[in-house]
Amino acid sequence: MYREEKRGYGQVTVEQQLFPVHRLSAGLFLGFDLNSPLCVCHSCDNPPCFNPAHLFVGTHADNSSDMVSKDRQAKGEENGSHKLTAEDVIEIRRRLALGQSQDHIATCFGVTQRVISLISRGLAWTHVA
């Protein structure tokens, strides 16, 4: 029986065990061990895809690196754990330009000084103009 999970990955039940379709495809065509802790990653970034030519085996770190290299990670408000908004970041940059201390700004926005430092150095929220 085939069904689609919320994140778009197809699933199939085989011998009363549920498998993501792309893992089954890697098992059948790439010799991947279905019980392996490794990930089956998509070079095409298309979750329902199970074309073995679009799949590669890697660690969680490999999968994350692939995502970052393609600029597909959740940024800013798309990230479920964000505390700031794009408008906050614009205001933080304005306050930094006025010379307010990073500690003071951090307190005002309920974040750490390190977050303000990352914004100040252009290492966080770089997608906000």
What is this structure's pTM? 0.58
Asked if 40 and 22 sit in the same domain, the reply is yes
Question: What is the tens place of the pLDDT at every residue in 17-70?
Answer: 888 999 999 999 999 999 999 999 999 988 889 999 999 999 999 988 988 888
Q: What gap in Å lies between CA 95 and CA 51, rounded to an integer? A: 50
Provide the domain count of the chain. 2
Radius of gyration for the chain, computed over Cα atoms and rounded to the nearest angstrom: 21
User: In the 8-state DSSP scheme, what is residue 76?
Assistant: G
Tell me which residue range forms the domain holding 45: 2-69
In a domain, 82, yes or no: yes
User: Quick one: 56 and 25 in the same domain?
Assistant: yes
List phi, psi (to 5°) of 4.
Answer: -110, 130
Residues 59 and 115 in one domain: no
- The string over 80-114, giving b where at least 16 C-beta atoms fall within 10 Å of a residue's C-beta and e elsewhere, is eeeebeeebbeebbebbeeeeebeebbeebebeee
Q: Is 128 contained in some domain?
A: no
